[in-house]
Chain A
């Protein structure tokens, strides 16, 4: 009897040690992600004086000095506005152009399908921001240079492969039979799509639209190359990195991070479904 419990103890204690180690590593990895973000929050919610002083306090003083300095800095608010406009346009264009292709890939077997998929995958394997250099020349010729629309076109190129592959995986998740049933009940291809498929797919489409928004919102290089007067927030911050005071950088960084946090939270359910099939 005692021998059995001793044996059980012997197997239980390494298991318990393993569980403690496991819990500790989960906790450490969470801290690794969250602590730097917390530091940024402290700096953002402190007065400019506190941001530049030493040593730093590890609790924010909840002073809006840095943020109001950011809001009053010349050109900052219009840069923020440009960022939102470009990201919004990118979101609309990449879904409007990408979703039909995703639908075609999931529903039809057509000649050249594999080639098309391969080309879409290939675009992901190219350093896309580099396209900004020749496009800068092309845009000057066509009058698109330094416009919100021109930059949105480049960002759409970045977001498009993702939009196609994600909508492809979303449409594949909806059984073809549903559509066929709608046809037998008198729907045309179009009405079957708008009445049956669209309501089912809408949350997923929203998620991939948000993903496109984040891609554009975060993009730095093309934005810095293609805009001069109408800077986006990332381009504006990058251009002023050498000259701007610390509290401006941190407040700017904070404004960049917040929408991203909210958006990733909004699409978290779809993140893995989106990548599951997009992989293949």
Chain B
């Protein structure tokens, strides 16, 4: 076979597979969202957005992302720069810090449930310190803030590792000469971070942010494990429409709303962190 056609033969399986299981389902989900039986309609979207739970679940999803993602960026940057100047034990520390990468959101929710449930470790610690006499219910209707904090902590715990990996890989690609030059000109460590690391890390930062923000809008199992129905989010609404209310059209409509938000944020991040034309590392 000639080398001219070989690459196309090699990418054919992926292309076919993604057309069948990625593009085609998207056509289907849009169709499902925009029809109710007789032609094109926005009925599903109207149904979904006028439901009393929609504003609260949208708000919860966005608030959670707004609380979690900035902390994760800061934490991942801190960890990545700390690892970068580490001489011994680098591999061990990196392994420990990337452990949550392999842990599913459901397992992370269960792990933090062990801490926050009524007979859990937080209550045990507080009673050992003499702060409380008997265990209090931490995750309940009376304490929405605590439910939010527990979910946010579980998300930060679980999903900072993916950003860390991307950022460590990105920092590894920055030539050491730039730091040496900056040092020669008398830049302090903080200035080196601000003027060398951050700008050159932009491509990695945008990859990490996009991946993380999209996953933040899909938050589901952590919330189910810790908050259950106390903390409705968009993804759990999708699940409810599909299985409890058996309304496929409405589920598809929420799915498209999540997709729309994700695309909007992806474009904003790409625009904000774009590398100027002609600039390369």
Give the interface of A toward B (CB within 8 A): 22, 25-26, 29-30, 32-34, 36-37, 39-40, 43, 52-56, 58, 96-98, 100-101, 103-105, 107-108, 110, 113, 116, 119-120, 123-131, 133-138, 153-154, 156-157, 160, 164, 189, 214, 217-221, 224-225, 234, 237-238, 241-242, 246, 249-250, 252-253, 256-257, 260-261, 263-265, 268, 271-273, 275-276, 279-280
Q: For B107, list chain A residues within 8 Å (CB).
A: 218, 253, 256-257, 260
Q: For A271, list chain B residues within 8 Å (CB).
A: 98, 101, 165
Q: Is A127 a contact partner of B165 (Cβ separation < 8 A)?
A: no
Contact stretch, chosen from B47-55, B62-70, B140-148, B234-242: B234-242
In angstroms, Cα B120 to Cα A97, docked, is 45
Is B11 at the interface (CB under 8 A from chain A)?
yes
In angstroms, Cα B12 to Cα A116, docked, is 11
CB A10 to nearest CB in B, in angstroms, measures: 17
Q: Is B218 a contact partner of A101 (Cβ separation < 8 A)?
A: no
Q: Is A127 a contact partner of B258 (Cβ separation < 8 A)?
A: yes
Q: For A58, list chain B residues within 8 Å (CB).
A: 121, 124
The one of A26, A119, A219, A250 that contacts B104, using a Cβ cutoff of 8 Å: A219
The one of B98, B134, B218 that contacts A127, using a Cβ cutoff of 8 Å: B218
In chain B, positions 72-100 with a C-beta closer than 8 Å to chain A are 78-79, 82, 86, 91, 93-100
In angstroms, Cα B187 to Cα A51, docked, is 54
Give the interface of B toward A (CB within 8 A): 3, 6-8, 10-11, 13-15, 17-18, 21-22, 24-26, 28-29, 32, 78-79, 82, 86, 91, 93-107, 110-115, 117-121, 123-124, 127-128, 134-135, 157, 165-166, 168-170, 172-173, 203-204, 207, 210-211, 214, 217-218, 220-221, 224-225, 228, 235, 238-239, 242-243, 248, 251-252, 255, 258-259, 262-263, 266
Q: Is B17 a contact partner of A280 (Cβ separation < 8 A)?
A: no
Q: Given A133-B29, A256-B104, A279-B169, A249 and B110 touching (CB < 8 A)?
A: yes
CB A215 to nearest CB in B, in angstroms, measures: 10
CB B219 to nearest CB in A, in angstroms, measures: 10
Q: Given A30-B96, A110-B7, A127 and B214 touching (CB < 8 A)?
A: yes
In angstroms, Cα B32 to Cα A189, docked, is 47
The one of B28, B82, B123 that contacts A137, using a Cβ cutoff of 8 Å: B28
In angstroms, Cα B207 to Cα A33, docked, is 23
The one of A54, A268, A272 that contacts B123, using a Cβ cutoff of 8 Å: A54
Q: Given A100-B13, A133-B255, A276-B172, A124 and B97 touching (CB < 8 A)?
A: no
Q: Given A218-B103, A249-B110, A100 and B95 touching (CB < 8 A)?
A: no
In angstroms, Cα B14 to Cα A105, docked, is 12
Q: Is A131 a contact partner of B82 (Cβ separation < 8 A)?
A: no
Q: For B124, list chain A residues within 8 Å (CB).
A: 54-56, 58
Q: Is A252 a contact partner of B110 (Cβ separation < 8 A)?
A: yes
Given contacts A127-B259, A241-B224, 14 further A-B contacts (CB under 8 A): A29-B97, A34-B99, A39-B121, A55-B123, A98-B14, A125-B266, A134-B25, A153-B21, A156-B21, A218-B102, A220-B220, A250-B110, A253-B106, A253-B114
Q: For A120, list chain B residues within 8 Å (CB).
A: 14
Q: For B24, list chain A residues within 8 Å (CB).
A: 138
In angstroms, Cα B134 to Cα A10, docked, is 51
Q: For A97, list chain B residues within 8 Å (CB).
A: 13-14, 17
The one of A128, A256, A279 that contacts B166, using a Cβ cutoff of 8 Å: A279
Q: Is A238 a contact partner of B106 (Cβ separation < 8 A)?
A: yes
In angstroms, Cα B154 to Cα A107, docked, is 42
Q: For B99, list chain A residues within 8 Å (CB).
A: 33-34, 37, 261, 264
Q: Given A137-B248, A138-B28, A280-B203, A264 and B98 touching (CB < 8 A)?
A: yes
Describe B's contact surface by its main secondary structure.
helix
Q: For A34, list chain B residues within 8 Å (CB).
A: 96, 99
> Could you give 24 example pairs across A and B, Cβ below 8 Å?
A40-B114, A54-B135, A56-B120, A97-B14, A100-B11, A100-B13, A123-B18, A124-B210, A130-B258, A131-B22, A136-B242, A137-B32, A138-B25, A221-B221, A221-B235, A225-B239, A237-B106, A241-B225, A246-B119, A252-B110, A253-B114, A256-B107, A268-B95, A273-B169
Q: For B134, list chain A residues within 8 Å (CB).
A: 54
Q: For residue A134, which residue of chain B has the nearest CB?
A: B28
Q: Given A39-B115, A54-B135, A253-B106, A238 and B203 touching (CB < 8 A)?
A: no
In angstroms, Cα B96 to Cα A19, docked, is 20
Q: Is A275 a contact partner of B97 (Cβ separation < 8 A)?
A: no
Q: Is B14 a contact partner of A101 (Cβ separation < 8 A)?
A: yes
In angstroms, Cα B106 to Cα A32, docked, is 19
In angstroms, Cα B107 to Cα A256, docked, is 6
Q: For A264, list chain B residues within 8 Å (CB).
A: 95, 98-99, 101-102
CB B265 to nearest CB in A, in angstroms, measures: 10
In angstroms, Cα B106 to Cα A217, docked, is 11
Pairs A-B, 3 closest by C-beta atoms: A218-B104, A260-B102, A253-B110
